[in-house]
Amino acid sequence: MATQEQRTSIVWDYAPAPESPDHVRLRDSYGLFIDGDFRDPGDGTRVQSINPATEEVVAEVAFAGPGDVRRAVEAARAAQPGWAALSGLERGKYLFRVARLIQERARELAVVESMDGGKPIRESRDVDVPLAAAHFFHYAGWADKLSYGMGGRAVEPLGVAGQIVPWNFPLLMAAWKLAPALACGNTAVLKPAETTPVTALLLAEILQEAELPPGVVQIVPGDGAAGATLVREPDIDKVAFTGSTSVGKNIQAALAGRGIPLTLELGGKSANIVFEDAALDQAVEGIVNGIFFNQGHVCCAGSRLLIQESVAETVVSKLWDRMGRLRVGDPLDKNTDVGAINSREQLERITALVASGEEEGAVRRTVVCDLPDRGYWFAPTLFTGVAPAHRIAAEEIFGPVVSVLTFRTQAEAIEKANSTPYGLAAGIWTDKGSKAFEVAAALQAGVVWQNTYNKFDPSAAFGGYKESGFGREGGMSGLRPYLRHDVSDPGVTL
Amino acid sequence: MSDRLPVRKTYKLFIGGAFVRSESGRYDRAGEFNIPRGSRKDVRDAVAAARKAAVGWAGKTAYNRGQILYRFAEALESRAADIGAERSDVEASIDVLVHYAGWTDKFQPVLGGINPVAAPFLSFSVPEPTGVVGVVAPDSPPLLGLVAELAPALAAANTVVAVLSEDRPLPGLDLGEVMGIADVPGGVVNLISGRRSELAPALAGHHALSAIVNATGELAAEIDKLASESVTRVRHTSPATDYATATADPLSRLEAVTELKTAWHPVGA
């Protein structure tokens, strides 16, 4: 392993600037949010949610057992007809309230998100929480306009949606799932991720404060078993899952023959392509954002960096230099760029994949920096000399690790970018407009960013090709997974 | 007295634009004809042919694809009497082709558009073909049941491998011959006759297949399970019985075989 000389600047050049957690008022223990209130688990358990940066307890949280999941589905079923019977305007007004309350409690939510998941406060404050509010605001406005979003077709809700979200953007993914489902007149049972349930429970408080009718949303934290139970519940009408491709395949198989609509937003190994005519300094910033944003715990992370041969050495050198200036550490420090790895399990996975990269002959460089004594950390890492067959070039690492490959021609870049079972996202760095459009059209990826990366907006569809899943979230297309064409009313007359 | 011996037709599978016997050498009897009984290997060959044809077909302009689908309708009209199906079945199929010929350059703005994002980017979402679409055609109606699922897949710029009606494969095989004169490029549509219970699972489990449309009402659990191995998109639908049911919800048919791509391009410095 190549190393860099010990950085001297990073420790002293900024004074610590921690965001204060004083205004956070967490309960000691959270129940399962079912039928409008926090309930004791019946056959579930209580577990401690851990801050991955300190290994201290954030809060105690109830985990749902199978009976609890059943209870949640029953509550959602009971509430669904009433919720669907509300006018679209009234449903929308509840969602607008939720959006506003998220904005009001934004600071608290951001701090808790960083405590529970390890992400830098700068990101939870500037990305996760504002986007969560924006999603509710966007879909609130759809609630009374649904048929316009469906090509003029008459529509009806599906019923009860079972929704499972991952640990990398806990509150934001909850918003992505709940906002469209509710706008369309469905009720929901949401299962937050095992390691990051707390902000979803704060969202439950917000739903109470918004006076959302009981039963419209249930929030039942739990581990993978709870998710497996939820998707196998007989009385659900829709499943939406964001997470790994392997679990997504299991869910698709579990639903076989049941006729339940499914949306899958799965893993990725997204190519970030740098052409020789790109603005290279700008590209380097984009590469950093693409792979080190949220410690690389991003399904669409630009984890395969494809650089045109003529500029590869320059870009790698600039990138390595820039990586040396990343500040790794306390997620609550406003100057932190890279926070804590979400869990011990994830740290072990990253460590194992990085070790495989070295074993298979790629050249590793890891930034040398002081890491806190406690918590889970992985310093930003760059691999060169990567062959397409290496595990680090093919498998999702989901950590702050970028694999560099090179290409000579545009055709080769496209071929390499598409040569993966995944198809979630891609980046293109070039100053030639026509080339950007041509390459964007040729990439098999659900989202393509030109001269930028990791941009999200509630009005823009997000979702994958191939084994990165199917169905879209965001915008008009995000409505379709939660509606059916009402065949009793032809809508558009042909 | 007519002593002339009629020339019988040899029915073949339609793969990669060529009329071929099943590689297995097997056949079934349908009336006075022998019908090839396609094999798993034929399915794999057909998927490979469809994959090969996908880039060229998707690369054609929407206008061009519309004209080809319309010409397909023209060709079917002119050969209507030669198709071994009821007249109403053939006529509905022709009209469905005309309907979807018109969709080729219209579904994009209906399913996609400009995204009004809160940042200085031109962000837009466009439906693109998902790739190779498998169609498991119902037994009846033998032609429309196939065309109702084939036409939207083609309109959305996909290539297709179809498993034909098991009861009545002749109309589907006849359709292959019509395509030969309709400017539909070789490999864009591939037609296989045989046992559905053998062919449909081979199709659903093929990892190069992007989506599968099952219009039979059968085999749902098996198809779903095989499709999950490579996150293949699945749509189960009941057979179209007439023109109205084949075109009642064209957007759902088109959506099922498209991928929405969102592109972000910077605006300004």
At A198, list the tokens: 């707390």
Judging contacts by C-beta atoms under 8 Å, the chain B residues touching residue A447 are 261-264
CB contact B227 to A (< 8 Å): yes
A31-266+469-485, superfamily in CATH?
Aldehyde Dehydrogenase; Chain A, domain 1 (3.40.605.10)
pLDDT by residue (tens digit) across B114-163? Answer: 999 999 999 999 999 999 999 999 999 999 999 999 999 999 999 999 99
B221–A257: do the CB atoms touch at under 8 Å? yes
Judging contacts by C-beta atoms under 8 Å, the chain A residues touching residue B224 are 252-253, 255-257
Residue A345, amino acid: E
B224–A477: do the CB atoms touch at under 8 Å? no
A469–B231: do the CB atoms touch at under 8 Å? yes
Alpha carbon of A214: minimum distance to chain B alpha carbons (Å) = 33
- Cα separation, A97 vs A117, whole angstroms: 26
How many Å separate Cα A294 from the centre of its chain? 10
Q: What is the full DSSP assignment across A240-291?
A: EEES-HHHHHHHHHHTTTS---EEEE-----EEEE-TTS-HHHHHHHHHHHH
The structure tokens 């084994």 sit at: A467
Residue A55 a catalytic site member: no
Task: Judge contact between B254 and A457, C-beta under 8 A.
Answer: no
A451–B266: do the CB atoms touch at under 8 Å? yes
Judging contacts by C-beta atoms under 8 Å, the chain A residues touching residue B249 are 153, 485
Q: What's residue A8's pLDDT?
A: 46
- Cα separation, A275 vs A432, whole angstroms: 10
Helix%, strand%, coil% for chain B, nearest 5: 40, 20, 35
Q: What's residue A402's pLDDT?
A: 98
Closest Cβ opposite residue A245 in set B115, B231, B263: B231
| Model confidence at B1: pLDDT above 90 | no
Residue A8 is classified by DSSP as S
Q: Residue length, chain A?
A: 494
A31-266+469-485 and A268-457 share one fold: no
- Cα separation, A437 vs B223, whole angstroms: 37
Q: Which helix (H) or strand (E) holds A75?
A: helix A66-85
At B39, list the tokens: 């094999």
Q: Which helix (H) or strand (E) holds B125?
A: strand B121-129
Helix%, strand%, coil% for chain A, nearest 5: 40, 20, 40
At A378, list the tokens: 């992985």
Domain range summary for chain A, segments of one domain joined by +: 31-266+469-485, 268-457
At A318, list the tokens: 């600039």
Residue A365 pairs in a beta bridge with A2, A382
Alpha carbon of B117: minimum distance to chain A alpha carbons (Å) = 6
Q: Alpha helix locations (H) across A125-216?
A: 129-142, 170-183, 198-209
Number of other residues whose CB lies within 10 A of the CB of residue A7 = 15
Which residue of chain B is at minimal alpha-carbon distance from A474?
B115
Alpha carbon of B20: minimum distance to chain A alpha carbons (Å) = 30
Alpha carbon of B124: minimum distance to chain A alpha carbons (Å) = 7
Q: Is A6 exposed, middle or buried (0-12, 13-18, 19+ CB in 10 A)?
A: exposed
Residue A265 a catalytic site member: yes
Q: Is A372 exposed, middle or buried (0-12, 13-18, 19+ CB in 10 A)?
A: middle
CB contact B258 to A (< 8 Å): no
- Cα separation, A78 vs B99, whole angstroms: 42
pLDDT by residue (tens digit) across B189-215? Answer: 999 999 999 999 999 999 999 999 999
B121–A476: do the CB atoms touch at under 8 Å? no
- Reported as half-sphere exposure (CB side, CA atoms, 13 A), residue A83 has a value of 31
B115–A460: do the CB atoms touch at under 8 Å? yes
For CA atoms B39, B41, B45, B46, the dihedral sign is: positive
Question: Architecture of domain A268-457 in CATH?
Answer: 3-Layer(aba) Sandwich (3.40)
Alpha carbon of A433: minimum distance to chain B alpha carbons (Å) = 9
From the list A173, A155, A170, A143, the residue with the least C-alpha distance to A463 is A173
For CA atoms A11, A13, A16, A17, the dihedral sign is: negative
Residue ranges and CATH numbers for the domains of chain B are 13-266 (3.40.605.10)
Torsion of CA A35, A39, A43, A49, to 10 degrees: 120
At B265, list the tokens: 């391009």
Q: Which residues contact A176 (CB under 8 A, 6 or more apart)?
A: A135, A165, A242, A473, A474, A478
Q: Alpha helix locations (H) across chain B?
A: 40-59, 62-78, 87-103, 107-111, 144-155, 170-180, 196-204, 220-228, 243-246, 250-255
CA-based radius of gyration for chain B: 19
CB contact B109 to A (< 8 Å): no
CB contact A493 to B (< 8 Å): no
Residue A338 pairs in a beta bridge with A328
Instruction: Please list, residue by residue across A13-33, b when 16 or more beta carbons sit within 10 angstroms of its beta carbon and e when fewer do.
Output: eeeeeebeeeebebeeebbbb
B118–A446: do the CB atoms touch at under 8 Å? no
Task: Name the catalytic one among A265, A396, A467, A473.
Answer: A265
- Cα separation, B173 vs A233, whole angstroms: 43
A448–B263: do the CB atoms touch at under 8 Å? yes
Torsion of CA A149, A152, A158, A163, to 10 degrees: -10
Task: Judge contact between B176 and B191, C-beta under 8 A.
Answer: yes
Task: Judge contact between A392 and A417, C-beta under 8 A.
Answer: no
Q: What's residue A359's pLDDT?
A: 97
Average pLDDT, consecutive stretches of 10 residues, N- to C-terminus, chain A (494 residues): 50 76 90 98 97 97 98 98 98 98 97 98 98 98 95 92 98 98 98 98 98 98 98 98 98 97 97 98 98 97 98 98 96 97 97 98 96 96 96 97 98 98 98 96 98 98 98 96 77 44
CA-based radius of gyration for chain A: 22
Number of other residues whose CB lies within 10 A of the CB of residue B269 = 4
Q: How far from B225 is each of A66, A194, B198, B201, CA to CA, in Å?
A: 24, 27, 15, 9
| Model confidence at B180: pLDDT above 80 | yes
Residue A73, amino acid: V
| Model confidence at B250: pLDDT above 90 | yes
Full strand arrangement of the beta sheet holding A262-265: A37-39, A32-34, A217-219, A187-191, A160-164, A238-242, A262-265, A469-470
Kindly provide the ipTM of the predicted complex, given to two decimals. 0.94
- Cα separation, A133 vs A230, whole angstroms: 26
